[in-house]
Chain A
Amino acid sequence: MKYLLLMLPTLATLFVPLYNIAEPRLFGFPFFYWFLIVLIPLSSLLTYLVYRGEKR
């Protein structure tokens, strides 16, 4: 479970054809750009959850 949470964003980056698209746009950003940007804080959040789980 821990490894799955940590690896989720990395796995998401692998499926390039799925996010290599322009629509839907967000604030004028084509999907390709905002999707990759959103993965950054998501990865950070998942890592934090794993960290919390380990400290308990």
Chain B
Amino acid sequence: MIDHLNWTAAAVFVVFFVLVTVLGFVAAHWKRGDLNDLNEWGLGGRRFGAWISWFLIGGDIYTAYTVIAVPSVLYAVGAYGFFAVPYTVIIYPLLYLTFPRLWAVAQRKNYLTAGDYVLGRYGNKWLELAVAFTGILATMPYIALQLVGMERVIDALGFEGTGLMSHLPLTVAFVILALYTYRSGLRAPAMIAFVKDIMIYVFVIAAIIVIPAKLGGYGAIFHSAGEALAKKAAASGGKVAAGLLLSPKQIFPFITLAFGSGLALLMYPHSMTGMLSARSGNTIRINAITLPAYSIMLALIALLGYMALAAGVQVKNPQDAVPHLILSVFPNWFVGFCFAAIAIGALVPAAIMSIGAANTFTRNIWKPFVHPAMNPHEEAVLAKLMSLIVKVGALAFILFVPTKFALDLQLLGGMWMAQIFPAVIFGLYTRWFNGWALLAGWAAGMVIGTWLAWTPAAWVPVHSVFGSSFAVYNGITAFLANVLVAAALSALLPNTARDDTRAEDYADLPETQLAE
């Protein structure tokens, strides 16, 4: 089981893991609050300033899975994988415009989730349920994929095993994570995010200096990667479009995937949790300006896929490309550091995702449909329990379901998440839409998107439009259908439902009220 273990790397790895575990438990005492109140446990009391939010949100949306998956696509097919860069260019202006409004209304009305807001705005608990259901459905496979990222690096350390034993380190790591999230709530990933993000930055800076120096500079890397991709394309007999530039057929899928993913990202429960825990709408604005630093890092991480090609890394599973590149160029102690960075990079989002899903389940499914008279203490107890259940579910997913399935579901998850965008974001500007119409639009989007993705062989993320040569990301097709249905029905049925929010609730809070 440990005959081929890289002892130096494994020791460094374990040291860092122990460090963040201690931080995770200590975090309960940070910025003291009553952790038996859901606002404190699940949103850190909405007290995180610009710096903490920057680390927390960065750690939240640039996950370990990103570090593994984005370069793996460049390694496998080239330019297409770079869609992650326009995707991150698109989200920040959107964040700047919309989320300060959502934050303001959420603060005034004590909303913790997207579902809470939708219920207040449209007075429709079925729309609230749809928003909550979508969030939880899309988050579960996402958490599972964080585990995949973690398992890739544990494997690369040389840990071997058969059957369930092969998942032992992962299980131990996850149980520890579950325990400190249970105890400290959002404070745990907020504190660990500092360590994680700094480690990832160190890893990336080292990689983009050391690896090109070894391989003869970026010109040489792009040159050899281009040759390797051309060989792949030729070997497939033209079936695989791989190259340093997009093939004409890839252009539409490339940009619609970027846009669709952008619509989806901010809708995930873990994004909501990260944003709403900020201290003010202004904190979010400052972060919309400063978070792109992570996007530059992401673009450089993506290029690790080409560095792996240029370094001659040969792996069957493209997701092993980055770990094996690290193994081939760095000394053992730094390998341990990099792998720890990736593994801790899985813990932060996994914790926030489970908190986001738990908040959503508690506030938008259990409370309205099972036990309306819940008090804040009961809410916190249930959410803590749910955060455990969600994590056990994700772990079971990885142990018993093929990884391919988690990947497919995550692709579907983005498409699903984009379907709540109209209900949440349009609502910040107008209440012209009828709640029932938005629900019908959501249903249309979910059904069409899922139906388009389904083929007998595999789930496909893009689909050609009316048999033409234009292929479009399903999330965008479904989103357009969604908006169309919601708008048509709203025109027929004007919105007369009760609205708990008023126009002034969306404006920034006066600075004096923000002082602690």
Chain A residues in the interface with B (C-beta under 8 A): 6-7, 9-10, 13-14, 16-17, 20-22, 25, 27-30, 32-33, 36-37, 39-41, 43-44, 46-48, 50-51
Contacts and interface: CB of A to CB of B under 8 A. Distances in A.
Interface of B: 79, 82, 85-86, 88-90, 92-93, 96-97, 217-222, 244-246, 251, 254-255, 258, 285-286, 288-290, 292-293, 295-296, 299, 303
Q: SS class of chain A's interface: helix, strand, loop or mixed?
A: helix
Contacts of A51: 96, 285-286, 289
A14 B220 CA distance: 29
A50 B97 CA distance: 11
Contacts of B96: 6, 47, 50-51
B89 A13 contact: yes
Contacts of B292: 40-41, 43-44
A51 B289 CA distance: 9
26 contacts: A10-B90, A13-B89, A13-B255, A13-B258, A14-B255, A16-B246, A16-B254, A21-B245, A27-B218, A27-B219, A28-B218, A32-B82, A32-B244, A32-B246, A33-B303, A37-B296, A37-B299, A40-B88, A40-B295, A40-B299, A43-B89, A44-B92, A44-B292, A44-B293, A51-B285, A51-B289
Contacts of B245: 20-22, 30, 32
B428 to A, nearest CB: 15
Contact of A36 (B82, B217, B222, B288): B82
Contacts of A17: 251
A32 to B, nearest CB: 6
B93 A32 contact: no
B93 A6 contact: yes
Nearest to B223: A28
A5 B85 CA distance: 19
A11 to B, nearest CB: 10
B207 to A, nearest CB: 16
A6 to B, nearest CB: 4
B230 to A, nearest CB: 13
Nearest to A54: B285
Contacts of B82: 32-33, 36
B79 A32 contact: yes
A36 B97 contact: no
Given A22-B244, A27-B218, A41 B296 contact: yes
A20 B221 contact: no
B93 A10 contact: yes
Nearest to A49: B289
A25 B244 CA distance: 13
